[in-house]
Amino acid sequence: MTYSLISPRVLFRSFPVLLVAFGCAYYNGLYNANRLADQARKAEREGRGGEARTLWSRVVVKTDSVLARYPTSSYRDDALLLRGTALFEIGACDVATGSLIEVADSSPDPELRSIALRTLSRCHLLLDNPDLAAVVLSPLADDSSAAGRSDALWIRGQAYLDLGENERALADLEATFEPGATFDRARALIRLRRGEAARTQLLGMPSRPYNENEWLLVLDQLGADYVDIASDLTDSILARGHLTEGQRARLQLSDGLRWSVRDSIRRAAMRYGQVRESASDSLEAQMAAFYLVKDRLLTSRSLADIPVLLDSLRTAGQSNPSVGAAAGPFLIVLDRFVSGSTVGFDWDLRTFLIAEEFRDSVRAFSLASQMFQSIADSVPHSVIAPKALLAAAQIDPVDAVSLRERVMSDYPESAYTLAFFGHDSDRFAAVEDSLLSIISSRLRYRIGDGRDDEVDHDGDADMPRVD
């Protein structure tokens, strides 16, 4: 939020015809600086952020020149305040604070002092000093007759939010009349676990241009605990119209991601489908296609699905570089499973290592569990069969009990079984050391020689076995 910072004395004061040249030059310099500031504000309102920043930088140059040439002018406070505001607008708050403090401390004009205090507090927020922002504003926010009190309450409410003092934040934010405070009131209500009240607050927002960044942020904050409320609110925003295809797609995509995090794959898929309908040729639609495949990967329980998922991911990744970057880690792990790129290890050890990647790298827990179990099913005498079953039990709560019972029944003397159930076993460390030695030596061989070993299908070379 920005303000017209030049004093009424400068804007409207009539100058005598015989005004001295000194005063005219000073006035003209400050007038030109304010004209640039007005142009910067207009550029901001029209979404031309880069141009606005350039104009604010020119304001800094103009006010620096005025202050250097006329250090004792009666309009010094006006120039200092405009300089501090321009520096705030370009993010140079570490430089702005000096000018703002001087005006706040010494200006005889209460309006200038009020604006300086509020801008200084905003600078403290940008500098991650919310405690200072609250302290600076308290005299102004607590004075019911002070000019700018409503804005001061809004800024102090933001400071309390940053400090985690949510009740105090809500008290200030409910007392302010600033239309932009609605999002912050909603954030305070969300933190106080009043999701329905936050929805009411946001639905009752006065009609104003759609602020995409603010809406996406507050919906994500609301959806962290109230995904259904956030989704309903998304529908309400979409129904209002006046959104571009891209804005609609981003709202739908964000809602799909929130449902995906909650493992509500059907609801997520519905949103992704809407994205592809809203903006079929957009980046958002291409990302939605990737997320659809990703969700299938994360919920599949069949190893037979992996080749199909790999092909689908490749297709999605080729649609756009950004999608390709997101799909990359998944493609690597799936391709390793399909192509057997850990050649050089026995099948059981190779499968175990890939299962760990599915579990740890791409979080495909169900498929990882199936891979771990396939080791015991296909190579039941492998020394790592009980280790694999125990790994599956840790990530598969549905089958955890039966998997552990299988370990106790089929591998009662295994070092892994004894160690897992709390018994000391000298063999545990020996078996683990043996596995690490095999992995390490094979990796050194592949890196140093530049080629893969042949797969040992008979399962007897290198790997220790359970008798």
CATH, residue 288: 1.25.40.10
Q: Which of 248, 313, 307 is nearest to 287 (CA)?
A: 313
pLDDT at 18: 34
State whether 270 and 288 are in the same domain. Answer: yes
pLDDT tens digits for range 174-203? 999 998 899 999 999 999 999 999 999 999
Of 302, 317, 337, the residue that ends a domain is 337
Residue 157: CB atoms within 10 Å: 30
Cα separation values, 258 from 102, 228, 270, 397, Å: 47, 10, 12, 23
Domains in the chain, number = 2
**Which residue range(s) make up the domain with 420?**
347-449
Same domain, 253 and 316: yes
- Within a domain: residue 15? no
The secondary structure of 100-119 as a DSSP string is HHHHHHH-S-HHHHHHHHHH
User: Do the domain assignments include residue 428?
Assistant: yes
In a domain, 230, yes or no: no
Tell me what pLDDT residue 424 has.
57
Q: Does residue 167 form part of some domain?
A: no
Please check whether residues 265 and 330 belong to one and the same domain.
yes
Do residues 355 and 271 both lie within one domain? Answer: no
Residues 303 and 369 in one domain: no
The C-alpha atoms of residue 361 and residue 354 are separated, in whole angstroms, by: 10
The pLDDT value given to residue 414: 84
Dihedral pair phi/psi, residue 282, rounded to 5°:
-90, 165
Q: Kindly tell me the burial class for residue 310, based on how many C-beta atoms sit within 10 Å of its own C-beta (0-12, 13-18, 19 or more).
A: buried
**Per-residue model confidence (pLDDT) at position 43:** 94
Same-domain pairing of 315 and 359: no
pLDDT at 383: 83
Count of alpha carbons within 13 angstroms of residue 142, beta-carbon side = 7
Q: Is residue 418 part of a domain?
A: yes
390/424 same-domain check: yes
Q: Say what the pLDDT of residue 436 is.
A: 62
pLDDT at 339: 84
So what's the pLDDT on residue 467? 34
Asked whether residue 43 is assigned to any structural domain, the reply reads no
Of the three residues 277, 308, 337, the one that is the final residue of a domain is 337
| pLDDT at residue 349 in the model | 86
CA–chain centroid gap for 9, Å, is: 45
Residue 255 lies in a domain: yes
Check whether residue 292 and residue 357 sit in a common domain.
Answer: no
pLDDT for residue 464 = 39
Sign of CA dihedral 218, 222, 227, 230: negative
Q: What is the pLDDT of residue 254?
A: 96
In a shared domain, residues 329 and 351: no
381 domain-assigned = yes
- Same domain? For 366 and 443 the reply is yes
Ranges under pLDDT 50 in the chain: 1-23, 343-344, 442-467
Q: What is the pLDDT of residue 280?
A: 84
Taking a C-beta distance cutoff of 8 angstroms, is the pair 391, 372 a contact? yes
